[in-house]
Amino acid sequence: MIRFEHIVKRLAGRNVLDDLSFEIHTGEVFVIVGPSGTGKSVTLKHMAQLLRPTSGTVWVDDVEASACEGRELERLRERFGYLFQGGALLGWLTVAENVALPLEEKTELPEDEIARRVHEALEMVDLENAANQFPGEISGGMQKRAGLARAIVRRPEIVLYDEPTSGLDPVTARTIDRLIQHLNRDLGVTSVVVTHDMQGALSIGTRVAMLHGGRFVEVSTPRTFVDSPCPEVQQFLEAQYITHESFFAKSGTK
């Protein structure tokens, strides 16, 4: 469980997060949507403590994450996998070496086991053929998928996805969505997804939250979300041609 209590984050003279409080339950897929620049990635970075709140507290289970330092912070982060917007791969390592990095650096696993798990992770994101290529030699979408393989290779309890499908073709985007669902349903991974892609958000999210003005203006299940009276939500849905009818026609219910 991740809990934000009255988080305020001040950046460049404005409150990017303004008294933000919410809770993410263990085993759910929590999707954060919202216009650009509203602090979605900032929220995600607070979960892994890559940013510290100006005020307020972040809890991960019974650990006060926002107060963790040193070894305690390291232990906390070991519970997370993080997919960054651009993949954030190290340019001088091959795709396979990038994926193997957390296992080589933080575990005592034998080499053949590492190789097996790297292959498995790359297979999940359909990148086994690019294992020996360098990040500079593959497309942005492939880099992102390699970043995802690296995020999940250590089998973390919580995976944070920052724009996992942006820049991907629709087929690959849906593959990533299915992978997030698979990790959630079959392995019990708690997922927090930041995205602009409402189709994906509504199909994979256990709950969807709309961030606007530094706070959530709506937090609800996908079904309730599409019927939200909140004007910001409706505007966001309409911009992606999602209506009550189209959503329920797709999900096959009314």
Partner 1 sequence: MITREPFEYPENATRQECLILAAREGLAVTGRAVLLGVRALRALPSLRRTKGRNEFMRQMYICGIESLPVITVVALFTGMILAFQTGIELRRYNQEVYIGSAVMVSMLREMGSFITGLILGACVGSAMAAQLGTMTVNDEIAALETMSIDPVRFLVTPRIAAMMIMTPILSFYTCMIGSLGGGVVGMTQLNVPWAQYMSNALEFARAKELFVGLLKALIYGIIITTVSCNEGLTATQGAVGVGDATRRAVIISFLLVLIVGYFVTRFFY
Q: Which residues bind partner 1 (CB under 8 A)?
A: 11-13, 45, 48-52, 73-75, 77-78, 80-82, 84-86, 88-90, 92, 101-102, 104-106, 147, 150, 154
Q: How far is the CB of 253 from partner 1 (least distance, A)?
A: 38
Is the CB of 20 or the CB of 103 nearer to partner 1?
103
Closest CB to partner 1 among residues 6, 106: 106
Nearer to partner 1, 77 or 117 (CB): 77
Nearer to partner 1, 33 or 101 (CB): 101
Q: How far is the CB of 11 from partner 1 (least distance, A)?
A: 7
CA 136 to chain centre: 23
Cα→Cα distances 235→120, 153, 187, 188, Å = 41, 38, 35, 33
Long-range contacts of range 57-62, CB-CB < 8 Å, 24 or more positions apart? 57/4, 57/5, 57/6, 57/7, 58/2, 58/3, 58/4, 58/5, 58/7, 59/1, 59/2, 59/3, 59/4, 59/5, 60/1, 60/2, 60/158, 61/1
Q: How far is the CB of 193 from partner 1 (least distance, A)?
A: 16
Minimum distance of partner 1 from residue 23's CB (angstroms): 21
- State the minimum distance, in angstroms, from the CB of residue 162 to partner 1: 8
The nearer residue to partner 1, 24 or 208, going by C-beta atoms, is 24
Q: Quote the CA–CA distance of 236 and 171 in Å, as a whole number.
A: 23
